[in-house]
Amino acid sequence: MENVQGKVVWITGASSGLGKALTTTLASQGAQIVLSARRFEELENVRVSLPNSDQHISIAMDITNEAQVRDAYAQVLKEKGRIDWLINNAGLSQRALIAETSMQTERAIMEVDYFSQVFLTKLVLPTFLSQKSGRIIYVSSVAGLLGTQYRASYSAAKAAIHMWANSLRAEVAQDGISVSVLFPGFVQTNVSINALNGEGKAQGYDNEATANGLTAEEFSDHAVKALLKGEEYIVIGGRKEKLGVFVSRISPSILYKMIRKMKVK
């Protein structure tokens, strides 16, 4: 079992939802957290609520702005001197049919959920390579394993980062760097409220599946336990999500029939 006592953990999307929950869980176990998201005030509200709040730092950045991300990386190294875990959590979901989704919206989701995470990883990778240690973590989604209605762009982006992570894991394994991917199912966060419709605007309301999902704290507890065990492929969700992932492995054709009958909006 690994432990995070004293380790520097950089978490994107740390101001709310899954990122905030992961921040709280890891800080309670002694990690030094670097919290990143767009709004500094919200990051600070989270930071001051953590145990040993003075050892954590808030760095505001837009994950899609490469100049801001470079500045944030430089600040992390200046203040902490190293990075032990990088958790690529910042993400953007979708709730729209393919026929109703503009190309601008398609690109916006891919930019946040795939390209920005690739860029940040490439930026930080030299630090891990020089240390000969570290863990890189991606928050994908069960949707990235299955693909469902109203989430085509989101599912594609989350599948893409999963496959990219697989390649990264193979390339850096000999350098003491581990790569893990988390696949959350329905979790009680604002993901559906903030999800983009076809025009690229926030949906603005929750849905029943998300509202009845795991709490963010339950997700975080499961995630951190699995990460500390060194697991690389981590599915976290309710019975329906886990069943879907299982069926996808043994009979894709049955899965596709199941998905066609689902009411997932």
Active site amino acids: 154
What lies within 8 Å, CB to CB, of 25 at 6+ separation is: 217, 220, 221, 223, 224
**The token pair that represents 5 in the structure block:** 């006592």
What lies within 8 Å, CB to CB, of 78 at 6+ separation is: none
Q: How far is CA 190 from CA 92, 187, 195, in A?
A: 10, 9, 8
Beta-strand ranges (E) seen in the chain are 8-12, 32-37, 57-60, 85-88, 134-139, 177-184, 187-188, 214-215, 233-236
Distance CA 34, CA 12 (A): 8
Q: Sheet containing 8-12: give its strands across.
A: 57-60, 32-37, 8-12, 85-88, 134-139, 177-184, 233-236
Residue type at position 81: G
Report residue 10: phi and psi, to 5°: -100, 120
**The token pair that represents 53 in the structure block:** 């709040």
Confirm if 74 and 54 have CB atoms less than 8 A apart.
Answer: no
